Structure 1
Amino acid sequence: MLGYFTAALPHFLAYFGAAIALAVTFLFLYAQATPHREFALIRAGNVAAATQLVGTFLGFAVPVSIVIGHAASVPDMLLWGAVAAVVQLLVFVAVSRFLFRAISDRITEGCTASGLFVGGMGLGVGILQAACMVP
């Protein structure tokens, strides 16, 4: 058992480290791409922004977790993870440009329903995406 653990540990560390780096990159790029500043709003106690960002992050993390279980290599996982990130950005664009043009303003104002809607859409699309991501 110890032999298996020591043999598998480098693979775990490689995938986990790559996944954390991918997640941090995603959160940074997502926060830059949206018109409102999620982290500043969250620091100020804005529940709508927190709900939106958590839902979106889960919508990103679920497909990445599925890909980690099926990827042939770390670079393979990173490529599919980038696809997951792009899809989450597209969810926000679709919601904010086509469904509710003022949703970013509503989140900034603290409208929890708006944050929940965007986060929920991100999570839902992420779950659907995860079911389709079997590299």
Structure 2
Amino acid sequence: MLDYFIATLPHFLAYFAVAVGLAMAFLALYAMATPHREFALIRDGNTAAAIQLTGTFIGFCVPVAVVIGHSVSLADMLIWGALAGLIQLAVFVIVARLLFKEISQKIDQGCTASGVFIGGMGLGIGILQAACMVP
């Protein structure tokens, strides 16, 4: 059993490092793509921004986790992980730019309902993505 652990540890470390890198890249791109500044708002105690970003982040991580379990290589995982990130960005664009144009301003103002709505939409879409990304 210890031999198996030692033999598979490099694979774990590689997938984990790539997954963390993908997650950091997603957070950076998402924060740049939204009109409000989530990290500054969170530092200032804005619960709406924290809920929105957390839900969206989990909505990204769920499909990436599923893909890790089913991918055939790191490149495969990267491609599907990038797609998960693009879909999460699209969710924000569709909700905040097309359906509810003032929702970003409401998050700036600390409207928790707006943060819960966008975070929940991101989480829900992430769960659907995860189900669809299994061959």
- TM-score category of the 2 structures, normalised to the smaller one: over 0.9
Amino acid at match of 2:56: T
Distance 1:102 1:109 in 2: 11
Distance 1:83 1:111 in 2: 30
Q: Is 2:39 the counterpart of 1:39?
A: yes
Aligned to 1:30: 30
Structure 1 residues 15-94: aligned runs within 5 Å: 15-94=15-94
- When normalised by structure 2's length, the TM-score is 0.99
Q: Which runs of 4+ in 1 moved over 2 A?
A: none
Distance 1:80 1:106 in 2: 32
Amino acid at match of 2:74: V
Alignment identity in percent? 70
Amino acid at match of 1:91: V
Distance 1:28 1:74 in 2: 21
Amino acid at match of 1:59: G
Please provide the CA RMSD for this pair: 0.6
Structure 1 residues 119-134: aligned runs within 5 Å: 119-134=119-134
Distance 1:3 1:66 in 2: 26
Amino acid at match of 2:5: F
- When normalised by structure 1's length, the TM-score is 0.99
Aligned to 1:110: 110
Q: Which runs of 5+ in 2 are unaligned?
A: none
Displacement of 1:6: 0.3
Q: Which runs of 5+ in 1 are unaligned?
A: none
Displacement of 1:35: 0.1
Aligned to 2:6: 6
Displacement of 1:99: 1.3
